[in-house]
Amino acid sequence: MKKLLLGLLMLCGLAQAQPAGDYHQHLFSPAVAETIKVPPISAADLVALLDDAGIKRATLLSVAYTFGSPKRSFPDELERVRAENDWTAAQAAKYPGRLIAFCSFNPLKDYALDELARCAAHPGLKHGIKLHFGNSDVQLELPAHVERLKQVFQAANEHHMAIVVHMRASISQKRPYGAQQARIFLEQLLPQAPDVTVQVAHFAGAGPGYDDPAGEEVMGVLAEAVQQGDPRTRHLMFDIASIPDGKLTKEQEQRLVARIRQVGVSRVLYGSDAATGGNLRPREGWAAFLSLPLTKEEVATVSANVPPYWR
């Protein structure tokens, strides 16, 4: 029944307002694809999917951090990181006005600040940075990690670069993740980037789906701060990439909608994540979002949202 509903929504969705953009997308170069054992994804591949969904633009979040994961070791790690960032920028440049690229790296590496500065000077990478706390094994309860992240957030702010952050701590390593980490993020990291958009990916979870109590606990802290008008959240936004996956229970849908309303629909960005494996493609992802019990006005607001780094 759920698949039938999604199919109908996909058909009628073409007659409804389509999202202004897919603000959480990834491409995979041949080098990354070989490393993580997935098919490559080029800009041309993604644009075909965007066209199918009626979506005009997308934010490409480089996956260069993959080469800096503590699970892997490369003698030419920095060269691989730079090459992936540059490849992503070159792919975006093939579709000016439709695609922009964000730089990425493991923020705990010695080269992190140098790569950030290099990206800030690169016309195709100056828009922002993508940080993946899980892949980089960032642990916000560790003071040394927080101090390094403060430097990264501050540098991004100085270079006027937005920050997209996958906050979810490593699941495979069973790292702590909950209210404590959320408060550290709110109280120590956000103040270092007061002037730029900070986009929390996957509604603070990992996706796909909305069955992550730890992620919901983090979102609870952040949402309450937004609701109370905490000035540190002035430029805070949230993307829903892979969260409404077409498989949510009614109870999960209700909880997700309540959280969307708590942070405010004007802060919610559509995203569908990398077009690989079981992830929903942009068109199907939007159909899944349409299946949530939101009002037409709320859906229209989300569909029209454009983050400042695109304006």
**Which pLDDT tens digit goes with each residue over 81-133?**
999 999 999 999 999 999 999 999 999 999 999 999 999 999 999 999 999 99
Whether the pLDDT of residue 269 is over 80: the answer is yes
pLDDT of residue 17: 79
Tokens of 200: 């929390």
Whether the pLDDT of residue 289 is over 90: the answer is yes
pLDDT of residue 4: 46
Whether the pLDDT of residue 188 is over 50: the answer is yes
pTM for this entry: 0.95
Question: Percent of the chain at pLDDT above 90?
Answer: 95
* Runs of H (alpha helix) within 163-306: 179-184, 213-227, 250-263, 282-290, 296-304
pLDDT of residue 16: 62
DSSP bridge partners of 102? 61, 126
Cβ-based neighbour number of residue 17 at 10 Å: 14
Alpha carbons 42 and 101: distance in angstroms, whole number? 13
Please state, rounded to an integer, the average pLDDT across all residues of the chain: 95
8-11: long-range contacts, CB 8 A cutoff, minimum separation 24: 9/287, 9/288, 9/290, 9/291, 10/283, 10/284, 10/287
Cβ-based neighbour number of residue 94 at 10 Å: 12
User: Per residue in 258-295, is it b (16+ CB within 10 Å) or e — as a string?
Assistant: ebbeebebebbbbbbbbbeeebbbbbbbbbbbbbbebe
Question: Percent of the chain at pLDDT above 70?
Answer: 95
Whether the pLDDT of residue 42 is over 90: the answer is yes
50-95 pLDDT per residue, tens: 999 999 999 999 999 999 999 999 999 999 999 999 999 999 999 9
- Residue whose pair of structure tokens reads 């969904």 in the numeric block: 53
Tell me which CATH code domain 2-10+20-304 carries: 3.20.20.140
Alpha carbons 260 and 15: distance in angstroms, whole number? 24
Whether the pLDDT of residue 12 is over 50: the answer is no
Whether the pLDDT of residue 10 is over 80: the answer is no
Cβ(46)–Cβ(275) below 8 Å? yes
- Residue whose pair of structure tokens reads 């990264």 in the numeric block: 152
Q: In 3-state terms, what secondary structure has residue 23?
A: strand
Domain ranges of the chain: 2-10+20-304
pLDDT of residue 232: 98
Cβ(212)–Cβ(168) below 8 Å? yes
211-242 pLDDT per residue, tens: 999 999 999 999 999 999 999 999 999 999 99
Tokens of 279: 């992830």
pLDDT of residue 259: 98
- Residue whose pair of structure tokens reads 């101090």 in the numeric block: 147
239-256 pLDDT per residue, tens: 999 999 999 999 999 999
